[in-house]
Amino acid sequence: MELYIVRHTLPKIARGTCYGHTDVPLSDSFVQEARAVLHQLRGTEFTHCFSSPLSRCRRLADFLAGHLSVASFMVREDPRLMELNFGAWEGQPWEQVSRTPQAQQWFDDFVQVRCPGGESYADLLARVRDFLQDLQSLPGNARVLIVTHGGPVRAFRVLIEGGDPRQIFAYKVRFGGLIRLSL
């Protein structure tokens, strides 16, 4: 099974703002960025398309599904593909968040420590692992398009390629970036 995993395009939010589960709009350059993603995928026929339900992913997934050959021609939303839930920190400037004692604990062990009212990276890994297990029910020759966020993209890499989740930020994931993995 082939997975084509795409991170959403550039969001329209102040740089340095903490957002994960917050549904933020996409920048005014969306169409140009979406066309660049489409160019990378042209000629590929997909059997399935999944997206985070957040609009920054769903909008890109709908754009791509409308221009690509997707057998089911339906984007299926899956909340397990959402970004990390930063809880009480959502919508706050990282500069302000970073000054709190809870943030220092999280920075020291973001894999196990949950954001106040939110998730740890282990929680996100568990969601993505569960999603991957469900994909096992698809035919082995499935070609799956997944539109998601930076955190889950890194989780797919850790879970499929192996590696230490504490080193996830070594995986660079640009907005509109694509990775291809075999499952």
The Cα 121–Cα 134 span in angstroms is 20
Query: Please, are residues 114 and 87 in contact by the beta-carbon 8 Å criterion?
Result: yes
- Using DSSP's 3-state secondary structure scheme, residue 72 falls into coil
Q: Is 83 a catalytic residue?
A: yes
Note the Cα 159 to chain centre separation in Å: 14
Task: Please identify which of the residues 33, 48, 83, 119 carries the catalytic annotation.
Answer: 83
Task: Please identify which of the residues 8, 48, 119, 149 carries the catalytic annotation.
Answer: 8
Query: Please, are residues 65 and 73 in contact by the beta-carbon 8 Å criterion?
Result: yes
Catalytic residues: 8, 83
